Amino acid sequence: MRLEIVTPDKSTYEGDVNGVVYMAPHGEVGILPGHAPFFSLIKPCELIIDEAGQSKSLAVGSGFVEVTTNAITILTDMAMNPEEINEQITQEALERAQDAVKNTEITDEEKEKHMIAIEKSLAVLRVKRKHM
């Protein structure tokens, strides 16, 4: 299967894969060759890519997944390789978002924004720490 991961800035990944695993709002989703076509949301998570039997991880943000007969396209607001991740900066961002969520004076919309930032930071840290 052909996998393409696209962010607003660039095409982050393009290549042939044996499968991918990601988190959707309803839980973990695995896609293998021959999967039925579908369209779904993707949550901030560790995206696991099977490249010819080798596992590769990327941290991805929110977005959409489209599966066709022979291709997977992921449109996301963030995609990071472990080498791109600064653990200290990400940890600080996580702590700021966690503190912001505790503020009782923020709106529900602001709280949701900070909760997404927490999910992204946790996914990024998971990928970084897995490859240390």
Q: What is the pLDDT of residues 26-83, one digit of tens each?
A: 999 999 999 999 999 999 999 999 998 899 999 999 999 999 989 999 999 999 999 9
pTM: 0.90
Q: Are residues 125 and 102 in the same domain?
A: yes
Q: Are residues 62 and 95 in the same domain?
A: no
User: Last residue of some domain: 81, 100, 116?
Assistant: 81
Q: What is the pLDDT of residue 45?
A: 97
Q: Are residues 8 and 66 in the same domain?
A: yes
Q: Are residues 19 and 46 in the same domain?
A: yes
If pLDDT is split at 50, 70 and 90, which confidence band does 25 have?
very high
Which residue segment(s) compose the domain that 97 sits in? 83-130
The CA distance from 103 to 67, in Å, is 40
The CA distance from 54 to 31, in Å, is 16
Q: Are residues 53 and 98 in the same domain?
A: no
Q: Are residues 76 and 87 in the same domain?
A: no
- Could you tell me the CATH number of the domain that includes residue 48? 2.60.15.10
Question: Is there a contact between 95 and 117 (Cβ–Cβ < 8 Å)?
Answer: no
Q: Are residues 61 and 116 in the same domain?
A: no
Q: Are residues 91 and 39 in the same domain?
A: no
Q: Are residues 33 and 94 in the same domain?
A: no
Instruction: Please say if the pLDDT value at position 132 is more than 90.
Output: no
Q: Are residues 7 and 65 in the same domain?
A: yes
Q: Are residues 7 and 68 in the same domain?
A: yes
